[in-house]
Amino acid sequence: MPSLSWIYLAAAIAGEIVGTSALKASQGFSRPGPSVLVVLGYGVAFYCLSQALRTIPMGIAYAVWSGIGIVAISLIGFVLYRQRLDMPALLGMGLIVAGTLVINLFSGSSAG
């Protein structure tokens, strides 16, 4: 079972994904519902990230948080907003996933 810090990090990632997805839907904060989701999503993200940083090294936490967030937001953009992903984008995201896996599977620095 993952430690509480890694659960906080997962919640931070989820909050960031919700906030960023709602940011596009807010249309420049002109739509109240999505705008509230932006604020709540990022609030959850930063609170949970701050809790995760109690034991997970900052560089590791941020690499995992941003890496997973980049891939998830790109996929959401593709599915919900029909934003195209070309081969260089897909290759780059593959490298991000590979880097995140290397950190989590092989780095002693990631032990929380």
Render pLDDT for 58-93 as a digit per residue (tens, 0 to 9).
988 988 898 899 889 999 999 998 999 999 999 998
pLDDT over 70, % of the chain: 96
Burial, 76: exposed, middle or buried (Cβ in 10 Å; 0-12, 13-18, 19+)? middle
Q: Is residue 2 scored above 90 in pLDDT?
A: no
Decide: 63 and 9 in contact? Cβ < 8 Å.
Answer: no
Other Cβ atoms within 10 Å of 33 Cβ, number: 9
Tell me: the pLDDT tens digits for 11-30? 999 999 999 999 989 999 99
Tokens of 52: 């995760």
